[in-house]
């Protein structure tokens, strides 16, 4: 199956970047969100990003014009997916929300369309059963920022057909990404499991008063050669996302060890979500 039209569900930070990257790569893209303000910000981002790439000579003006024409934002889910060959969901990491959404996607999208979740934590086998096409439902996990990061995790749960896997791997390559094939579903997939182990230790060291946020990050950067430390990375990906994921994990397991740490709860309760709010583990001011 040839992919021509892509729908991205959710116009937040991940969603609008996935949509724009697909548009730059030559696909016709419709990006949906229920929030009008989110759609407006996403549209403005496109209008600012493309001229910036032209100014830096990363795109020609003609390429930027084609990309701009390729991407459309809408608050109608039916409009977004009615002619889609491939759908990428990028909404909140809450299982009930995703299950309700995929039920609607199955009803509104063409029978041939593949329905992918960009979830970084919720495996597709927890969603696929609400659709009539479980063999076409999988995880396609991009990394933040999606316009820059090359890695995409393609997760083949027990319900996912080989054809769906092959189409998804080929799509990633058309998007100039580096796909990795997960042969089994596992919570957190590949990279987040590795980062999760680092993050748990970093948070323990902070909560126990062993070292500061800054010094823990320095140890990872200057000792382990990481491009940024776990707290700086968390500011980039969003403390709100970390909080929501931790709460979802706790609801599923009932294990208090899965609860967000006291420091994370404090930041979350103050609306300090990282770079996007101007403050998280670090302060960013008006950046």
CATH code 1.10.1040.10 region(s) in the chain: 192-277
Is 192 among the residues known to form the active site? Answer: yes
Is 267 among the residues known to form the active site? Answer: no
- CATH H-level, domain 5-182: superfamily: NAD(P)-binding Rossmann-like Domain (3.40.50.720)
Are the C-beta atoms of 43 and 22 separated by less than 8 Å? no
Angle value at C-alpha 99, between 246 and 30, nearest 5 degrees: 100
> Is residue 287 pLDDT above 60, yes or no?
no
Q: Exactly one of 153, 185, 248, 272 is catalytic; name it.
A: 153
State the pLDDT at residue 187.
83
Angle value at C-alpha 70, between 18 and 163, nearest 5 degrees: 60
Kindly report, residue by residue over 76-126, the tens digit of the pLDDT: 999 999 999 999 999 998 899 999 999 999 999 999 999 999 998 899 999
Kindly report, residue by residue over 20-32, the tens digit of the pLDDT: 999 999 999 999 9
Q: Exactly one of 192, 203, 234, 242 is catalytic; name it.
A: 192
Kindly report, residue by residue over 145-170, the tens digit of the pLDDT: 999 999 999 999 999 999 999 999 99
**Is the domain covering 192-277 a CATH 1.10.1040.10 domain?**
yes
Radius of gyration of the chain (CA): 19
State the pLDDT at residue 286.
67
If you search the block for the tokens 């580096």, which residue do you land on?
A: 178
Q: Exactly one of 117, 118, 119, 120 is catalytic; name it.
A: 120
Calpha distance 120→284 (Å, rounded): 26
State the pLDDT at residue 285.
80
State the pLDDT at residue 252.
87
State the pLDDT at residue 249.
87
Calpha distance 171→67 (Å, rounded): 17
> Is residue 144 pLDDT above 60, yes or no?
yes
Q: How far is CA 38 from CA 10, 34, 192, 239, 246, in A?
A: 9, 8, 27, 19, 24
Is 35 among the residues known to form the active site? Answer: no
CATH code 3.40.50.720 region(s) in the chain: 5-182
Give the end-to-end CA distance of the chain in Å, rounded to a whole number.
43
Sheet containing 151-155: give its strands across: 71-74, 28-32, 5-9, 86-89, 114-117, 137-142, 151-155, 178-182
Hey, how many other C-beta atoms are within 10 angstroms of the C-beta on 195? 18
Calpha distance 108→9 (Å, rounded): 13
Calpha distance 189→31 (Å, rounded): 25
Kindly report, residue by residue over 231-269, the tens digit of the pLDDT: 999 999 899 999 998 998 899 899 999 999 999 999 999
- Provide the mean pLDDT of the chain: 96
Q: Exactly one of 21, 141, 159, 267 is catalytic; name it.
A: 141
Kindly report, residue by residue over 187-214, the tens digit of the pLDDT: 889 998 898 899 999 999 999 999 999 9
Is 118 among the residues known to form the active site? Answer: no
Calpha distance 202→217 (Å, rounded): 9
């Amino acid at each position: 199956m040839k992919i021509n039209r892509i729908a991205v569900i959710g116009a937040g930070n991940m969603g609008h970047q996935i949509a724009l990257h697909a548009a730059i790569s030559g696909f016709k893209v419709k990006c949906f969100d229920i929030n009008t303000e989110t759609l407006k910000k996403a549209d403005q981002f496109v209008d600012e990003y493309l001229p910036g790439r032209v100014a830096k000579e990363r795109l020609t003006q003609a390429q930027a014009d084609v990309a701009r024409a390729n991407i459309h934002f809408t608050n109608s889910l039916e409009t977004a997916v009615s002619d889609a060959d491939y759908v990428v969901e990028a909404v909140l990491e809450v299982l009930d929300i995703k299950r309700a959404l995929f039920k609607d996607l199955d009803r509104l999208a063409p029978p041939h369309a593949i329905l992918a979740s960009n979830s970084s934590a919720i495996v597709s086998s927890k969603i696929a059963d609400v659709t009539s096409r479980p063999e076409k439902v999988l995880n396609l996990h991009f990394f933040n920022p999606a316009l820059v990061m090359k890695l995409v995790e393609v997760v083949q749960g027990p319900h996912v057909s080989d054809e769906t896997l092959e189409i998804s791997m080929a799509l990633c390559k058309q998007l100039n990404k580096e796909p990795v094939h997960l042969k089994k579903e596992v919570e957190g997939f590949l990279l987040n499991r590795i980062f999760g182990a680092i993050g748990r230790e970093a948070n323990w060291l902070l909560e126990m008063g062993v070292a500061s946020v800054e010094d823990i990050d320095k140890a990872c950067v200057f000792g382990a050669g990481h491009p940024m430390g776990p707290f700086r990375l968390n500011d980039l990906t969003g403390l709100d996302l970390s909080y929501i994921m931790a709460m979802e994990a706790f609801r599923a397991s009932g294990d208090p060890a899965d609860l967000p740490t006291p420091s994370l709860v404090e930041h979350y309760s103050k609306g300090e979500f990282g770079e996007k709010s101007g403050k998280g583990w670090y302060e960013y001011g008006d950046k």
